Structure 1
Amino acid sequence: MSSREVEAAGAVGAVEAVAAVEAVEAVVVGGGQAGLAMSEHLGEAGVPHLVLERHRIAERWRSERWDSLVANGPAWHDRFPGLEFVDLDPGAFASKERVAAYFEAYAEKIAAPIRTGVEVTSVRRHEGRPGFRVETSDGPIDARYVVAATGPFQRPVIPPIVPADAGPVQLHSSSYRNPEQLPEGAVLVVGAGSSGVQIAEELRRSGRSVYLSVGPHDRPPRRYRDRDFCWWLGVLGKWDAETPPAGAEHVTIAVSGARGGHTVDFRDLAGLGITLVGMTSSHDNGTLRFAPDLGTNIANGDANYLALLDEADAYVTRNGLDLPEEPAARALGPDPACVTDPILELDLDGIGSIVWATGYAVNYSWLQVDALDENGRPKHRRGISAEPGVYFLGLPWLARRGSSFIWGVWHDAKFVADHIAIQRGYLA
């Protein structure tokens, strides 16, 4: 074969390689609640798309939560509008397995074009032509639009306080499964949000000695005047709040759907035998130190709780609703000794394990476009990123307080899908 023939054959091969790249108008990265909501709205808008999920649908509900976890909202609330939980009372709290099955059923209902077991390794903008090259474990895909729907729970965060070789077994709440998993000895649970309080209570009920490190938190009632707190936050407009109160961007909510659902009261947890301590601040030579803020954190949580009751009562009066009064809800018991005389230091010799219920950070290392700030966080407005054609979905406060919740992400997805449809219209 002559050199000219070799060059010609190479050119043909290059053309065939380009032609072999799959192309679709939109790629949605993530097959959880955000990805499925996005798929539904893109489908209704007539946008050809693919949903890529590196594991299974709703994988985090399956393998990154403890065994006894249930949804924190009742079944009538924690769902998409188009499908109810079959064979589950609307006021019940779905198990994590039931939630995963729900999303599988929803994907089937909307005929979501989802591919599981496909990991997205990089997204880069094309040079000299529109759209993006999406590299995956199953080969490249070209797309005009990319929606990052991987949600907020991407990288578990364990504060660098206690060295790994300090003695206790340390794990994040995403790796905790059940009390039998942990070695013998007392357990320190760090974090006063829903995960921390539920794990601490489960451990204590199993017979473990438990310390719970309590930081700033909101503490809504599970139910008040015959309505779930999800309903109250809805009618009071709190789910639709567009910006968090100053300084409260990352304040957790202490609420539980466990054991049929109940209001979290740290006095009750202390009465159960859990020792409350302040925020975990430092470690030195086998001694763990806590901030002297426990009483303040408990008091602020109580104030948040009572303020919501006040707003609920005012709403009932203003609208003339016939809802039963509940004066007992305002009866707060005395502070336990661990609050009035808090422990500020703890010898780690008696601690067998530490469960860090300290939240997550995002990880968009695969998104190699100008859509992130210097700290790797999304630059966006209501999910529309600084990089034209790239969108985010499922993040806390993406558009409102409810954005990272099941029903909230569904409504955010419609806004993003509408924006994509508008851009398609301009291009057409």
Structure 2
Amino acid sequence: MTVEKIVTDTLVVGAGQAGVAMSEHLTHLGIPHVVLEKNRIAEAWRTGRWDSLVANGPAWHDRFPNMEFPGIDPDGFVPKEQVADYFAAYAQSFDAPIRTGVEVKRAERNQGRPGFTVETSQGIIEARNIVAATGPFQRPVIPAIAPDDARFHQIHSAHYYNPQQLPEGGVLIVGAGSSGVQIADELQRAGKQVYLSVGPHDRPPRAYRNRDFCWWLGVLGLWDAAASQPGKEHVTIAVSGARGGHTVDFRALAHQGVNLVGLTKSFADGVVEFQPDLADNIARGDDNYLSLLDAADAYIARNGLDLPEEPEARHFLPDPACVTQPILTLDMVEAGITTIIWATGYVADYSWLNVDAFDDKGKPKHQRGVSSESGVYFLGLPWLSRRGSTFIWGVWHDAKYIADHIQTQKKYSQYQDAQQQNK
């Protein structure tokens, strides 16, 4: 293998939506940089999602400002492969200096001189700045309660692709955010007996009064919320763009044939126990749903908008038996369950980044992506600057802020260098 050494102003690690956005802004500012990606551009969209996934936001909203999705209805939901193709085409549009198939192994600050030395699978890079644009979906998490039981096929939702890959038998899905509910719906429609473990969640309407919920969150200023509400740090969002987009309704899923259960508590000898919190979790999701309808109605009245009324949106189906008579204990073998899918989220992995930019729990210390370690930046994380930070359009705006910060710091460095030369 040929070992090379590259010297650049800024190294961007990761070429998903965050890395591509970062590269665009750095290119616009004329800042020399290199983007490294260990796989392909936007690889997670291609192989880290199930086959039928579409974007959870409509095409007019879930995109970068400077390019639309080709051939897609603005109110449609883009299939995952086309999302990945979009990012590849976007990067090509400004000739982004992206190098794929290169893994970053270690980065650390130089001693006695500016910048960082970065070890990669293809050589060494010297960079004054590092932008960790690897996003929040780096390492799938399966909780410690997972049973060590060979009778059950267990996978994370990151490794679920389609119903055909699963063995015969029923499925327990743990986690009812966007991934969990969509996978449960798909498997039930494919003929599987499905149990869905439902924890605390927000449940926005897909659309209300002829406007998508993404529009409502925008005009109501909710995308710009600077921090999550206390106590909601681990609350998932149940929303779907599948089959043209629809509001996630847990009662409808139950009437369709999905068995709802509460938060998963423990496993022992093939028996799973659930918390008695299913009805409460659904009720709190309803409260979240109704609060957005109330805010939307008030906005319409306040601004005199001519949008059709939708009283049926407030009508709920009757509680199914699985809610009124919840299952608290389930013998999975007797129930015919052969598979457990863990839709339990991810953690970030910055083991390669050996700098003083993390707290005692390993979480990045930053303000709007500008870390506590000079020259180190984070991009693509939830709530980086606001609620919209993990969305395609949101990460683009966060990247602009970071690029501007890098440019400002570059001017200070240029001044220092000039003063040194004049001595």
1:253 maps to 2:253: no
1:49 maps to 2:18: no
Q: 1:124 aligns with which of 108, 114, 117?
A: 108
Q: Equivalents in 1 of 2:112, 2:412: separation in Å? A: 19
- Give the superposition deviation at 1:41: 0.7
* Deviation readout 1:250-270 (Å, 9 max, x if unpaired): 211101000000000001100
- Native 8 Å contact 2:77 2:245 kept in 1: yes
Q: Equivalents in 2 of 1:250, 1:235: separation in Å? A: 25
- Give the superposition deviation at 1:21: 2.7
Match of 2:340 in 1: 354
Q: 1:341 aligns with which of 325, 330, 338?
A: 325
- Give the superposition deviation at 1:406: 0.4
Larger deviation, residues 65-74 vs 373-382: 373-382
Match of 1:36 in 2: 20
- Give the superposition deviation at 1:163: 2.3
CA RMSD of the aligned region, Å? 0.9
1:209 maps to 2:183: no
Q: TM-score, normalised by structure 1?
A: 0.95
- Native 8 Å contact 1:25 1:144 kept in 2: yes
User: Which is higher, the Rg of structure 1 or of structure 2?
Assistant: 1
Q: Equivalents in 2 of 1:119, 1:233: separation in Å? A: 37
1:83 maps to 2:67: yes
Q: Equivalents in 2 of 1:133, 1:343: separation in Å? A: 55
1:405 maps to 2:405: no
Q: Equivalents in 2 of 1:363, 1:104: separation in Å? A: 24
Partner secondary structure for residue 384 of structure 2: coil
Match of 1:114 in 2: 98
1:199 maps to 2:183: yes
1:369 maps to 2:327: no
Match of 2:406 in 1: 420
- Give the superposition deviation at 1:333: 1.5
Q: Equivalents in 2 of 1:384, 1:163: separation in Å? A: 40
* Deviation readout 1:232-265 (Å, 9 max, x if unpaired): 0011111110011101122111010000000000
Counterparts of residues 268-417 of structure 1 (less than 5 Å): 268-349=252-333, 350-417=336-403
Match of 1:9 in 2: none
1:178 maps to 2:162: yes
Partner secondary structure for residue 239 of structure 1: helix
- Give the superposition deviation at 1:423: 0.4
- 1:322 is matched by which residue type in structure 2? D
- Native 8 Å contact 2:176 2:197 kept in 1: yes
Larger deviation, residues 68-77 vs 368-377: 368-377
Match of 2:52 in 1: 68
Q: Equivalents in 1 of 2:61, 2:237: separation in Å? A: 17
Q: Equivalents in 1 of 2:83, 2:247: separation in Å? A: 22
Q: Equivalents in 1 of 2:358, 2:75: separation in Å? A: 40
Q: Equivalents in 1 of 2:171, 2:253: separation in Å? A: 14
* Deviation readout 1:345-395 (Å, 9 max, x if unpaired): 111212100001000001000001111122221111110111100000000
Q: Equivalents in 2 of 1:380, 1:397: separation in Å? A: 11
Partner secondary structure for residue 224 of structure 2: coil
- Give the superposition deviation at 1:322: 0.7
Q: Equivalents in 2 of 1:21, 1:200: separation in Å? A: 48
Q: Equivalents in 2 of 1:22, 1:398: separation in Å? A: 30
Q: TM-score, normalised by structure 2?
A: 0.96
Aligned residues: 410
Structure 2 unaligned spans of 5+: 415-423
Partner secondary structure for residue 153 of structure 1: coil
- Native 8 Å contact 1:363 1:376 kept in 2: no
Q: Runs ≥4 in structure 1, deviation > 2 angstroms? A: 162-166
Q: Equivalents in 1 of 2:330, 2:123: separation in Å? A: 52
1:154 maps to 2:138: yes
- Native 8 Å contact 2:107 2:119 kept in 1: yes
- Give the superposition deviation at 1:396: 0.2
- Native 8 Å contact 1:168 1:348 kept in 2: no
- 1:405 is matched by which residue type in structure 2? F
- 1:390 is matched by which residue type in structure 2? V
* Deviation readout 1:76-134 (Å, 9 max, x if unpaired): 01100010001110001000001000001100112110000000001100011000001
Partner secondary structure for residue 354 of structure 2: coil
Match of 1:101 in 2: 85
Structure 1 unaligned spans of 5+: 1-16
- Native 8 Å contact 2:40 2:101 kept in 1: yes
Partner secondary structure for residue 140 of structure 1: strand
Q: Equivalents in 2 of 1:290, 1:416: separation in Å? A: 44
- 1:321 is matched by which residue type in structure 2? L
Q: 1:144 aligns with which of 122, 125, 128?
A: 128
- 2:226 is matched by which residue type in structure 1? E
- Native 8 Å contact 1:55 1:117 kept in 2: yes
* Deviation readout 1:292-316 (Å, 9 max, x if unpaired): 0000000000000000000000000
- Native 8 Å contact 2:149 2:270 kept in 1: no
- Give the superposition deviation at 1:166: 4.9
- Give the superposition deviation at 1:283: 1.1
